[in-house]
Amino acid sequence: MPTLIDLRQEGEKSRPRHPEKEGRPDSPSPRKPDWIRVKAPTSLGYHQTKELVRELKLHTVCEEAGCPNIGECWSQKHATFMILGGICTRACSFCNVATGKPLPLDQNEPDNVAYATAQMGLKHVVVTSVDRDDLDDGGADHFVRTIEAIRRSAPDTTIEILTPDFLRKPGAADRVIDAKPDVFNHNLETVPRLYHSIRPGARYYQSLRLLDSVKQRDPTQFTKSGLMVGLGEAKDEVLQVMDDLRVAGVDFLTIGQYLQPTKKHAAIDRFWTPEEFKALETIAYAKGFLMVSASPLTRSSHHAGEDFARLKAARLAQTQA
């Protein structure tokens, strides 16, 4: 069952960010290799994006998950909006998003995300969320309202969603699929052997079924999924996940290096080299993915707009071949 941490409410200053991890022993992170290092954000564009996010009381996965690419993306006024609040009802051992008991939904959030999308002039917007196992529909209606609001405020903007798994929420995923986002993304995150320790509230085959259901219900919709490496997986296990995703008809695969948010999070087993990522990319293309992004700093929404253009071009080329 999903892990629901019922402690202090969202917004309490004294609330620990990860209460379920407080008693865990430290797992020191090894020194980062040179290919992982990024510069601290300082640009004007970064600060303007930060001010707009604060003004509208929005959450972004860029901040909440501690993304290493935040300086680059926010400098270009690109952001991944995180809806359904800032507190997750699950407690994945890799994730830096705060866990606990969420507040009621902010009914203005869909319109605020749409307004920010229009204000920033985004050609492609990514919307993700925390897990909300406490809601009857897992937050599906909120996703639909957000998609609809963006369509009204920024009709020329393409929309990519990165959803939870809607575990034990019958009919919820169908409602989101029927809202017709341009890209439906759901990350498997890791290999099935590691789910018990890395993603304990989720089920590997539920996630695969979700991705498959998108293609079954709307074959025209692009589907996307992502993996982290460096958690103790074997290369053969990663290749098997690729095969599973291709059986589910997934178009776009991202693979990036896991980086430990705090010493209480899952330990880093090793850093995969840029050469190993390049090899994974080559293999993934050979397996039939239309689009692959594999590098140490790859994240699901990094360069999402440019990648979406390339994804469309790849499908067009395939149909004309």
Question: What digits encode the pLDDT tens for the residues 39-58?
Answer: 655 555 666 666 766 676 66
27 is in an annotated binding site: no
The CA distance from 205 to 179, in Å, is 24
Which of the four pLDDT bands, split at 50, 70 and 90, describes residue 1? Answer: very low
- Compare 281 and 76 and report the one with higher pLDDT: 281
215-243: pLDDT as tens digits: 999 999 999 999 999 999 999 999 999 99
43 is in an annotated binding site: no
Strand partners for 132: none
Mean pLDDT across the stretch 63-69? 52
Could you tell me if residue 99 is left (phi over 0), alpha (psi between -120 and 50 degrees) or otherwise beta? beta
Q: Tell me: pLDDT of 8 over 50.
A: no
Which pTM value belongs to this model?
0.87
Task: Report pLDDT for 53.
Answer: 64
Q: Tell me: pLDDT of 121 over 70.
A: yes
CA angle in degrees (0–180, nearest 5) for 116-122-124: 120
pLDDT above 90 covers a percentage of the chain that reads 62
62 is in an annotated binding site: yes
Name residue 77's amino acid.
Answer: K
Mean pLDDT across the stretch 279-297? 96
* Beta strands per DSSP E along 71-221: 80-83, 124-129, 158-162, 183-185
The average confidence (pLDDT) of the chain is 86
Query: Are 132 and 89 within 8 A, CB to CB?
Result: yes
Type and span of the H or E element at 225 = strand 222-229
Q: 228 Cβ partners below 8 Å, 6+ apart?
A: 94, 189, 190, 255, 256, 257, 258
Which of the four pLDDT bands, split at 50, 70 and 90, describes residue 258? Answer: very high
Q: Tell me: pLDDT of 250 over 80.
A: yes
Which of the four pLDDT bands, split at 50, 70 and 90, describes residue 10? Answer: very low
Picking from 154, 44, 170, the residue whose alpha carbon sits closest to that of residue 110 is 154
Name residue 165's amino acid.
Answer: D
Q: Tell me: pLDDT of 272 over 70.
A: yes
Strand partners for 256: 228
The domains located in the chain, with CATH, are: 38-320 (3.20.20.70)
CA angle in degrees (0–180, nearest 5) for 130-131-135: 120
Which of the four pLDDT bands, split at 50, 70 and 90, describes residue 7? Answer: very low
79, exposed or middle or buried, with CB in 10 Å at 0-12, 13-18, 19+? buried
The CA distance from 294 to 226, in Å, is 10
29 is in an annotated binding site: no
Type and span of the H or E element at 292 = strand 291-294
321, exposed or middle or buried, with CB in 10 Å at 0-12, 13-18, 19+? exposed
67 is in an annotated binding site: yes
